[in-house]
Structure formats: structure tokens, C-alpha cells
Structure 1
Amino acid sequence: MSFDPLSLSLFALVLLFAGLCAGVLAGLLGVGGGIVIVPVLFHLLGVIGVEEDVKMHLAVGTSLASIIPTSIVSIRSHLKRDAVDRELLQSWAPWVACGVLLGTVLAGVVRGAVLTGVFAVVALAVALHMAFTSQETRLSDHPPRGVLKGITAAVIGTFSAMMGIGGGTLTVPTLVMCNYPIRRAVGTSAALGLIIAVPGTIGFVVAGLGLPDRPPLSLGYVSLLGLLMIAPVSMLSAPLGARLAHAIDPRNLRRAFAFFLAVTSLRMFYGLLT
């Protein structure tokens, strides 16, 4: 598989833009840059002719790899504002890691269509949540405790690994609906994103080693070209998003992003059914 110069240039430009959006959204909404990167990569890889069974795995693996540097920068920004709950982080981390292990194993053995379906379902659920619920919506007066805490954290880790997202997409709304301050939810989810991304990336690298039909410059299911295009821009833009999170009301942006997610989800459903 090879790139012609025009395809390579377009590929690089779109990836740079995706990295910019991913970094800002990671800091601003705590949704994790992967929720932007995965659908962009999924469609770009299809345009350049990557096989159906490979492109979703490659999109997820590359997204997880790009989240590692973005999370580090985002964590530093939130730590300066005392927005990371270390106690909750230590309590959730082992369960999230167990979920990541399960999700990575499942992702390595299922077909690409299954990963696409998982992403489409969860993305649509997140879009509906962002569009039709407010930050005042509450399911509980406190974060999950005991067995429910372990189950919640493990489920977040499992689906995040299978979707190629940093965890904020699921962690932030879960914590906010449990009467947890939004800004500390965003900061803490950034730290959990690193716990998800590192083992998830390793798993996708191992699962894809030696397999055919991958683009050039791929390490397992991680596109090194995609990583080089996305990571630097997302690292630079993540602090901007973190600053904006403490300065503006993100409600209108939430609605716009919900629309993007809904369209992305429906497009993936259409692809699965046709």
C-alpha cells in the first residue's frame, strides 16, 4: 500500500486539524481527543484504501497512542489549577486498568465492524447526553462507592480501550451526574486518560504486529505517520483548552460537539448496514 503525494498532503493536513481539535476538546470539555481522532482516522483510512477489517483497529490504536502526550500536557495544566482529585484517581485507577486490559484483549480478537459498532453506539449515547441533559442533572449525591465504583471504573476502562478514547468522554458525565464538580471531573479524567492510553497502545501494537494490509509506517495497529501529525499539535493546543475550561461557559460548544458526534455515529451505522 502506498500514498501518492496529493493523498499524503491531504492526509497530513486533516490530521493536523484533528490534532488541534482533539487537544482543545481534551482540555475544554474533558471528552478526550480520541472521540475526534477516531472518526477522522476511520474515514481517512477508508479513503486511501485501507481494508475494512484493519482501518478501525488502526484508528483506535493510533488514537490511543496520540492520547499519551496530550494527557501528560493536559494533566500538568490541570494540576497547576488543583483540578486533579488524587484520592479519587488512586481509588479508580486499578479498576480502570483492569477494564483497559479486558477491552484491549477483546479489541484484538473481534472484527473491525464490532469496534465500529461499539464506537457508534457509545458516541450516539454521549451525543444525546450532551445535547439533552444539563450539568445540573444528577443521578446520585456522590461518586459510586464499593462494588459499584469498581464496576463503573472497569466499564469505563473497557469501552475506552475499545473505542480509542481517553476516558473523559465517559468519566466526566458519570462524575458530574454524581454531584461531582465539573472542573475537577475534567482534570481527574485527564489523568485517568493516561492510565487508559499507555496499556491500550501497547496492546494494539502487539495485536497488529506482522499483519498485512496496514499502511506504511505502521507499528502494529498504530500509524506512526498519524501519530507524528496529531500528537505535537494536540500537545500544544491542550493547555489552551484547559484555560478555556476555567474561563467560558461551554454549553453552546457542548451542543455543537453533540451534533458532530451524532452525525459521526449515524454515518458509522450507515456504513455497517450497507
Structure 2
Amino acid sequence: MIDLPFMLSLIALGGIVGFTAGLLGVGGGGLMVPILTSLFLWQKMPLEQVVHLALGTSMASIVVTSFSSLRAHHKNQGVDWAVVQSMAPGILLGAFAATFLAAFANALFLASFFALFMFCTAIQMLVGATPNPSRQLPGRAQLFGVGSIIGGISALASIGGGSLSVPFLHWHNVPIKRAIGTSAALGFPIAVSGTLGYIINGWQHTSATPLSFGFIYLPAVIIISALSVFTAPLGVKFAYYLPVPIIKRVFALLLFLLSAKMLFSVVS
């Protein structure tokens, strides 16, 4: 039985995650993983599996969140579907393969990887170096390769890929708001493939945590998804309303805070 404070925490998390996903083109994993880690520790779930459960649960929740976000961005003509078509196969492959590595890594390694990755991405976004005006997106083969890398890192850190794909696309002179919309669409195949991998690799640990399915805690997925599907379109509206510099600063600040929170939760 889920206690009321825990349920209310998940409801609040779902609402915030959906809004953030729509606003910044991220799946919400960067927000969910550190918070779910803290919540699962609070619920006294197995310490050696708490980060794995946070990663898998986050990835499964991103399936619904990213789909809702991509639909809203598509309605605003903010998705470059040619880029999605080129990168999606690599993303599927990379995300699925990375879950096998995550299954055998310990909690401290995963937390450290997550924190370092988010911190470096935040620095890159905050510096805001201007790309060469003549730089264009690479061809299909290169986009497949980049997609594999983004998918792999995203599954390992359980993020929707926006913190990688948004800077990559923008660095190649894709307007920031279109980069956010395209990233939202790329988050869906990452989430589907990553979820499948976390189910398979965590299957032997299912009995250790009631109501779990592999490395996925079902009650959290259901509650977070139910709220995020309504708040993601609201975030999309704000994304097309706010000035670009503000979006970049919010993106970078969020990543800074989350990287510190994740590392502190596990180390403490």
C-alpha cells in the first residue's frame, strides 16, 4: 500500500516533469531520477537497487511524457521529422544496449556518471558559444552514429535525450525552439527502447520490490504519467512564448541543480 505523502510527492513530480518536458524538450529524466532516488530511499527500498529503480522508472515515465510533448510540438510545426527519421534507428540501438551496462553498474557509479554528465551539459549550454553560421547538420550515416551515442548516454542516465540533442542540433544552426521540438520527438524512441531494456535487465530483481516490473516501479510510472500528459502541452506553450536566452538559462540552471542533487542523494 502506498502512503499518502509518497503519492502526493509523485503527483507533484508528474506535474512538474510534464511542464519541464514541454518547455525544454527533455523527457524529464534529469528531474525524475534524483527525486525518485530520494523518494525510494525514503520508502526504504533496497539500497543496492534504488538508483536502478529510479533510472528504470524514470525511463518508463518518459514514454508517455515525451509522446505528449512531441504531439504538442508537432501541432506547432516545431519538429524536424527528417532529422528524427535519420537519428531514431541509432537511438533505439544505443538506448537498448546501454541498459545492459547500467544493470551491472553499482549505484555510486551511476549517480556519479549522471551528475558529471548533467554538469558538463549545463556548462555547455550556459557558455552559449555561437556556432559557425555555415555549419549544417551532417548526413544520414553521421546522424545515425550521433543518435546511437545520444541513445546510449540517455539510457545510462535515464534522460529523454534533450540535454544532448538540443545542444547538438542548436550547434548545427537549428533554431533553439525547433531543436527543442525535434528533441521531444527523439525522446520517444529513447524511452521505449530504454524501458524494454530496464525490464529485461531487472527482471531477476522484481521480487525484491513489491509492485515493480524489472527495474520499473509501476505505481510511480502510472501516477507520474497521468499528470505529465496534461502539463506537457502547457510547457510547450511557454516554450513558444518565452525569449530564447531565458530558455537557455533555465535549461542550464536546471541541469546544475539536478547534477548536485543526484550525487548528494546517493553519497549521503
Give yes or no for the alignment of 1:97 onto 2:92. Answer: yes
| Correspondent of 2:47 among 13, 27, 52 | 52
Deviation at 1:115, TM superposition (A): 1.6
Q: Check whether the contact 2:155–2:190 (CA below 8 A) recurs between aligned residues.
A: yes
| Correspondent of 2:184 among 190, 197, 220 | 190
Deviation at 1:200, TM superposition (A): 0.8
Q: Secondary structure at the match of 2:242?
A: coil
Partner Cα distance (1:214, 1:51) in 2: 7
Give yes or no for the alignment of 1:114 onto 2:109. Answer: yes
Identity across matched positions, percent: 37
- Length-normalised TM-score, structure 1: 0.89
Deviation at 1:97, TM superposition (A): 1.4
In structure 2, relative to structure 1, the CA distance for the partners of 1:271 and 1:82 (3 Å cut) is closer
Partner Cα distance (1:267, 1:240) in 2: 26
| Correspondent of 2:72 among 74, 77, 81 | 77
| RMSD, aligned α-carbons | 2.2
User: AA paired with 2:243?
Assistant: D
| Correspondent of 1:166 among 119, 135, 160 | 160
Q: Which runs of 5+ in 1 are unaligned?
A: none
User: AA paired with 2:258?
Assistant: T
Q: Deviations over 1:94-118 (max 9, x none)?
A: 1111211221121122222222122
Give yes or no for the alignment of 1:266 onto 2:242. Answer: no
Deviation at 1:150, TM superposition (A): 3.2
Deviation at 1:170, TM superposition (A): 1.0
Q: Determine the structure 2 residue equivalent to 1:200.
A: 194
Partner Cα distance (1:223, 1:164) in 2: 14
Q: Determine the structure 1 residue equivalent to 2:14.
A: 19
| Correspondent of 1:234 among 228, 233, 237 | 228
Q: Deviations over 1:120-172 (max 9, x none)?
A: 111111222333326xx216711233654333221100010111111112111
In structure 2, relative to structure 1, the CA distance for the partners of 1:147 and 1:91 (3 Å cut) is closer
Q: Secondary structure at the match of 2:137?
A: coil
Q: Which runs of 5+ in 2 are unaligned?
A: none
Q: Which moved more, 1:250-259 or 1:27-36?
A: 250-259
